[in-house]
Structure 1
Amino acid sequence: MREQLSWKVGGQQGEGIESTGEIFASALNRHGYYLFGYRHFSSRIKGGHTNNKIRVSTTPLNSISDDLNILVAFDQETIDVNIHELREDGIIIADAKFNPVVTEGYDVRLYAVPFTEIATELGTSLMKNMVAVGASSAILGLAPDTYQDVVEDLFLKKGASVVEKNMEAIRAGAACFRKEAGANMPELQLAPADGKKRMFMIGNDAIGMGAIAAGSRFMAAYPITPASEIMEYMIEKLPEFGGTVIQTEDEIAACTMAIGANYAGVRSFTASAGPGLSLMAEAIGLSGMTEQPLVIMDTQRGGPSTGLPTKQEQSDLMAMIYSTHGDIPKIVITPSTVEEAFYDTVEAFNLAEEYQCPVILVTDLALSLGKQTVEPLDYSKVEIRRGALQVGEEIPEREDKAYYKRYELTETGVSNRVIPGMKNGIHHVTGVEHDETGKPSESPENRKSQMDKRLRKVANLPKQFKDPLFVDAKHAEADLLVIGVNSTRGTIAEAMPRLEEDGIKVNHAQIRLLHPFPTDELKPLIDRAKKVVVVENNATAQLANIIKMNVGNVKIENVLKYDGNPFLPGELHETCKELHDISKELV
């Protein structure tokens, strides 16, 4: 029996590929297996090849797998596109309807199962995905009843008969495959899981949960891939907590609404992707100048322009830090797991209010939409910190009867903050340069003092931010220091043991606070490495250049991938090994 395997289902978008993977994975999750999933889908509603790859294990997982054990195909294109991933002992189960054939040049087992025919006989061809799930369960040695709870959750609202029909489809698929295969396949059957209950969710859901836990009660957003699930989650859940979601006419309106709501004292945010972030640039500057809290979730995707809206990329890094005109304080947080996305979302709201500036929480498509097993979240770790907000405090009237010093010059750069309507808290708010009460001022002395005040707010943040780096560095002197950001963490972590087996000493650092940059925390790791390798999904080495700008003239080897696909552990292992071997030869 196997401790882990990889399963993939593919077909045309709109055929229920996502739901097939969801049903398959959800049932295994409930039985205590660890899962890691990644969806490849087209940027259209219907049509175009799509697939859902799910890795299953009895132990924790870090990334998607290099190869594939089982391929479920609803069309010939799925076989042709994905067969190269199959291991030698892998199999294909395909809908007999399209007369499947093994792609020329490959020698793998193919089983034609009449998914559509069986489903039609049971009442509707729409249940062909359930037949496929049943066939998959037979391969893995799982009883069809494994899926009972999941099917009930999905279909009981439509009636018990619908539940039973779908279960019939699963049982029929399992029986048909066993008949077609003629024997059990112990080499593909899973060892029992531990049965423990864990969460199985995408990064966007974790962000939504984090926002609610942080006390956010207003979200303004415009739908965009791959951020839309955050808004969908909030639309469903936020009203239960007395909150509101508004779908705006564009991202400009969304960002300014979030600023306005924060000004009124309500924790608020917006979420978007690269194109939306570009539109928000001026409003982000308004947040910085008026010192209003603002939280933005940026889910990176392939650019520029519309680019590859449903594909993986990490090419917004420079834009998040530098796109706003003028100089403002800004915080950019980059979680690297679904679990971190939850806790970092809470922290983003705290930092926005404590430092009174825009905070951008950044993910990438693989982290936003990739589904991972997550241990139960610890809500005792959630704390709400509202900084210098004076709600509930008595504000004394000034002797000179002047306006409240909303932008008072302080040693920390952070001024006391009030919300509209508070007695003795009247002040002016404007996007032009202003004095301590908010009154417009073009005085050179005032300009310098206010600019210095704003910028010194975040100067010491890297030392105050909990874990600005994720570090796995067991070597005092490493052959390689591998640095990544966002979803590459798991892939790097899985490649490291393979490199160690090759006799290469590897340390790993994952950037979790991108701006202000944790220079003092990263530099000692760089100094302890013979070679620094930066892994990122973009064409221009944005992360590597940010490191050089902050740490100094570091000799970096760039490992770049920008074809729309995430890194695989195997390719990262081979690339890093090659870089190490080349450097040895040069020495």
Structure 2
Amino acid sequence: MISQLSWKIGGQQGEGVESTDRIFSTALNRLGYYLYGYRHFSSRIKGGHTNNKIRISTKPIRAISDDLDILVAFDQESIDLNAGELRPGGVVVADAKFSPTLPEGIQARLFAVPITAIAEELGTSLMKNMVASGASWALLGLPIEVFNQAVEEEFGRKGPAIVEKNIEAVRRGSEFVLEQAGGPLEEFKLEPADGVQKLFMIGNEAMALGSIAGGCRLMSAYPITPASEIMEYLIKKLPKFGGTVVQTEDEIAAVTMAIGANYAGVRTMTASAGPGLSLMMEAIGLSGMTETPLVIIDTQRGGPSTGLPTKQEQSDINALIYGTHGEIPKLVVAPSTIEECFYDVIEAFNLAEQYQIPVIVATDLQLSLGKQSCDVLDFDSIQLNRGKLIEGELPALEENRMFKRYEFTEDGVSPRVVPGMKYGIHHVTGVEHDQEGRPSENALNRQKMMDKRLGKVQSLRVTNAVKVIAEDPTADILIVAMGSTGGTIEEARDRLTQDGVKTAHVTVRQMHPFPNELLEPHLQSAKKVVVLENNATGQLANLIKQNLGYHDKIQNVVKYDGTPFLPSEVYKACKELN
């Protein structure tokens, strides 16, 4: 028996690859296995090769695997593109319709199953995904009843007749492949899971759920890959909590609506990707200048311009920090796990109001769209903090005076009111202003206002601003990274340890203001620092050099072909640099 296995399904976009993956992984999750998924899909609605890869384990995992055990292929292209990942002795379950063949040198077992033919016999070729699922599930020797329950959940809303037909498709695919194979494959028999069903979600869903838990009651957004699932989730869920989602005409409207709603006292957010973030830059500056809370989620993807909308990249760091003209206070935080996606959004809403600043939560495509098991979320630990938002009565104003919305205070944060509050009248403008909001070009006032705005965030640190995953002052290599790469690095470190290479590992979660004092001790003790990131120019490494130096220690390991790092790639890079 084995403790983990990797499964992939490939075909043309629109053929049911996504639903097959969803049902397959749902059934595995019901059995209590830990799962980690990665979607490769084209930036079009239909057509173009797509594949979904799931890693199944009896223990927690946070990375895609280097190799592949089972490949389900709806066309020859899926075999040609993915067979190279198959380990010796792997299996391909393919549709007999296209007379599948294995590329030369691939040592795998091929099962040609009449997937389309069986589906058509049952009434429609659309059910071929269920035939294929049944075939691959049967090879694992897992209980078919659990799989059928997942099928019923997927198609139940379409009526019992549809459910029965799909279950029959599963049975027919299962029976055919078992007859060919002579029964389940012993070499792919998984050890029993713990039987405890885990939370299983993508980062976008976790952030959407976190926004609800964090008090968000309005989302204004424009659809864009890979952020759209946040809006789609909230469209279904937010009305149940008295909130709503507004799909705006563009990203400029989305961010300005969010600023207006936050000014009115409603916790509001927007979400986008690199191109949309570019359009929001002027408005982010407005949030900073008017000291209006704002939460933005940026799901990084391949750029520039339209770039690679459905591929992995971490190249927005410079834009997130320096994109706005002028100088404003802001916070940029980068979650590295599904759990952090949930908690960081809650913290983002609190900090946006406590410090009256724009807060950007930056994920990457793999974290946003990669579906994976996660720990149970602790809703009891959630606390909302609205900062200096005044909810009681205000004292009467002196004649010809207004409320000091931008009052100079010891901590730089001014009292805040919602519109219509008695004695709370004040000016709000994007130009420089005095304490009451009146436009002002006075040189002394300008300097004091700039110092006030910028100074209030200098000591701001999010929870685990620098997350120490593995600490060793005597390590040969310190690996520094951000975002979704943590699990991949940990698997590479295990291999390096076996080779006698001592490593440490930290993840930078706060990009701005940069947490110098938290990262520097690790850089000081390290013999060599490897900064690993999914971009071409080493933006995180440059950020570290700019803030802390250590140019002589830092080595860049970058990947910018649109795919996430594999454990073997991290291992190889560190071995070569050691």
Report which stretch shifted further, 124-133 or 277-286. 124-133
Counterpart of 1:296 in structure 2 is 296
Picking from 529, 532, 549, the partner of 1:532 is 529
The offset of 1:400, in angstroms, is 4.7
Aligned residue type for 1:237? K
* Maintained 8 Å contact 2:139/2:183: no
Measure how far apart 1:163 and its partner are: 1.1
> Partner residue of 1:584?
none
Kept after mapping to 1: 8 A contact 2:90/2:107:
no
Q: Which amino acid aligns with 1:534?
A: V
Letter of the structure 1 residue corresponding to residue 494 of structure 2: P
Q: From 473, 476, 488, give the equivalent of 2:473.
A: 476
Equivalent residues of 2:199, 2:375 under 8 A apart: yes
**For the residues of structure 1 that align with 2:29 and 2:337, how far apart are their CA atoms?**
18
**Structure-2 residue corresponding to 1:381:** 381
Secondary structure, in 3 states, of the residue corresponding to 2:476?
Answer: strand
Helix, strand or coil for the counterpart of 1:87? strand
- Pairing 1:181-330 to 2, within 5 Å after superposition: 181-330=181-330
Give the residue type in structure 2 aligned to 1:466. T
Q: What do the CA deviations read for 1:508-567 (whole angstroms, capped 9, x no partner)?
A: 010111111111000000111100000000001000001111112433110000000000
* Higher alpha-carbon deviation: 304-313 or 129-138: 129-138
Could you tell me which amino acid in structure 1 is paired with residue 534 of structure 2? N
Which 4+ residue blocks in structure 1 deviate beyond 4 angstroms? Answer: none
Asked whether 1:547 is paired with 2:548, we answer no
Structure 1 residue 401: deviation in Å? 4.8
State the alpha-carbon separation in 2 of the partners of residues 156 and 558 from structure 1: 51
TM-score by length of 2: 0.99
Q: Tell me the equivalent position of 1:435.
A: 434
1:14 lines up with 2:11 in the alignment = no
Which whole-Å CA distance do the structure 2 matches of 1:55 and 1:325 have between them? 44
Q: Distance in 1 between matches of 2:68 and 2:503?
A: 27
Trace 1:494-573 onto structure 2 (pairs within 5 A).
Answer: 494-554=491-551, 555-573=553-571
Equivalents in 1 of 2:306, 2:544: separation in Å? 28
CA contact (8 A) 2:151 2:166 kept: yes
Residue 538 of structure 1 aligns to a residue whose secondary structure is: coil
**Map of 1:410-421 to 2, 5 A cutoff?**
410-421=409-420
1:577 to 567, 571, 575: 575
Helix, strand or coil at the partner of 2:246: strand
1:133 aligned partner:
133
- The question of whether the paired residues in 2 share the 8 Å contact of 1:62 and 1:494 is answered with no
Partner of 1:26: 26
Unaligned runs of 5+ in 1: 581-587
Shift of 1:107: 2.7
2:71 corresponds to which residue?
A: 71
Q: Indicate the residue corresponding to 2:179 in structure 1.
A: 179
1:393-425 Cα distance to aligned partner (Å, 9 max, x none):
111113455100000011111000000000110
Separation (CA, whole Å) in 2 of partners of 1:458 and 1:493: 32
Which stretch shows the higher mean deviation, 152-161 or 481-490?
152-161
CA contact (8 A) 2:88 2:106 kept: no
State TM-score, norm by structure 1: 0.97
Following TM superposition, by how much is the alpha carbon of 1:72 offset from its aligned partner in structure 2, in angstroms? 0.4
Partner of 2:95: 95
State how far apart, in whole Å, the 2-side matches of 1:493 and 1:513 are.
Answer: 20
Shift of 1:385: 0.4
Q: Which amino acid aligns with 1:503?
A: G
Alpha-carbon displacement from aligned partner over 1:251-274 (angstroms, at most 9, x marks no partner): 000000000000000000100000
Letter paired with 1:547 = I
Q: SS where residue 394 of structure 1 aligns?
A: coil
State the number of aligned residues. Answer: 577
Measure the CA separation in 2 of the matches of 1:68 and 1:406: 60
Q: Deviations over 1:31-55 (max 9, x none)?
A: 1000000000000111110000000
1:107 maps to which residue?
107
Matched, 1:159 2:159: yes
Find the aligned partners of 2:453 and 2:324 in 1 and give their Cα distance: 15
Give yes or no for the alignment of 1:408 onto 2:395.
Answer: no
C-alpha separation between the residues in 2 aligned to 1:365 and 1:86? 25
Pairwise CA distance, 1:114? 0.7
Distance, in Å, in 1 between the alignment partners of 2:422 and 2:243 is 26
1:583 is aligned to: none
Q: RMSD between aligned alpha carbons?
A: 0.9
Question: Letter of the aligned partner of 1:303 in structure 2?
Answer: G
Structure 2: distance between partners of 1:418 and 1:231: 28
Letter in 2 for 1:566: P
Q: Partners in 2 of 1:207 and 1:473 — Cα distance? A: 26
1:51-62 matches, within 5 Å, as: 51-62=51-62
Q: Which amino acid aligns with 2:562?
A: G
CA shift, 1:166, in A, is 0.8
2:472 corresponds to 1:492:
no
For structure 2, which runs of at least 5 residues remain unmatched after alignment? none
Q: Secondary structure at the match of 2:562?
A: coil
Quote how far apart the aligned CAs of 1:102 are. Answer: 0.6
SS of structure 2 residue aligned to 1:458:
coil
Counterpart contact for 1:113–1:180, Cα < 8 Å: no
The Cα of 1:156 is off from its aligned counterpart by 1.5
Map Cα deviations across residues 194-233 of structure 1 (whole Å, 9 max, x no partner).
1102110000000100000001000000000000000000
